[in-house]
Amino acid sequence: MHFTNTKPFRVKEEELVRQCKQGDLKSQQRLYDLFSDRFFRLAFRYVKDQAEAEDVVMLAFVKIFTSLKKFTWQEAGSLEAWMRRILINEALMALRKKHNFYLTETLDVENPIHDAEIFEETDAEYLYQLILELPDGYRTVFNLFAIEGYDHAEIAELLRITESTSRSQLYKARQLLIRKINQEGLHYGT
């Protein structure tokens, strides 16, 4: 399966939503073309398997199209935010089927080190590859917290874990990323 976004997006978001709600197949295809590529990359950050990421995207779009009647357009970007939540939930459901997030060790920590500098100084593509190498629990919490902007209470609810487990997984993910960056010769603070 190959996701493409080759056609320029000419229809305003609000109008596209209206047309999709009316069952217009061309508008639904436009919506899919507009978001499928970036949603595949988003799903892949969680499930780390190409075929599984493709399945997640397809399942998410099925839910998007069946739930679109319930969506109320509010402003530019509200559609994408709503669709991203559906996609992330699908990715998390795929992870839950394969992994038991309850088996993770907890560590009650509030992130005592200031590691933002090391991440800011690291090439984005390199950091992306390192994130993909994280164990599933670490990677999932890191993505939800650092990239998607969820707080620990929201992550705990989404993954059905405790907030302290979420904090622990984030702390361990950061520590592992720092260790990997340092092993490559990119040292903290230099």
User: For the residues of 56-83, what is the DSSP string, one character each?
Assistant: HHHHHHHHHHHHGGG----STTHHHHHH
Q: Which helix (H) or strand (E) element contains residue 118?
A: helix 116-120
Burial 81-96 (b: 16+ CB within 10 A, else e): ebbbebbbebbbebbe
CATH of 13-98, one of 1.20.1640.10, 1.10.1740.10, 2.30.110.10, 3.40.50.1580: 1.10.1740.10
Summarised one tens digit per residue, pLDDT across range 105-143 is 444 444 444 454 545 555 677 778 888 888 888 999 998
* pLDDT confidence of residue 113: 43
Question: How far is Cα 132 from Cα 137, in angstroms, rounded to an integer?
Answer: 11
Confidence of residue 99 (pLDDT cuts 50, 70, 90): low
**Measured CA angle at 59 (ends 150, 71), to 5 deg:** 65
The model's pTM is 0.69
How much is the mean pLDDT over the chain? 80
Domain spans in the chain, listed from the N-terminal domain onward: 13-98, 101-183
Q: How many residues are there in the chain?
A: 190
Give just the sign of the alpha carbon dihedral 136, 154, 169, 171: positive
CATH of 101-183, one of 1.10.10.10, 3.30.960.10, 1.10.630.10, 1.10.3720.10: 1.10.10.10
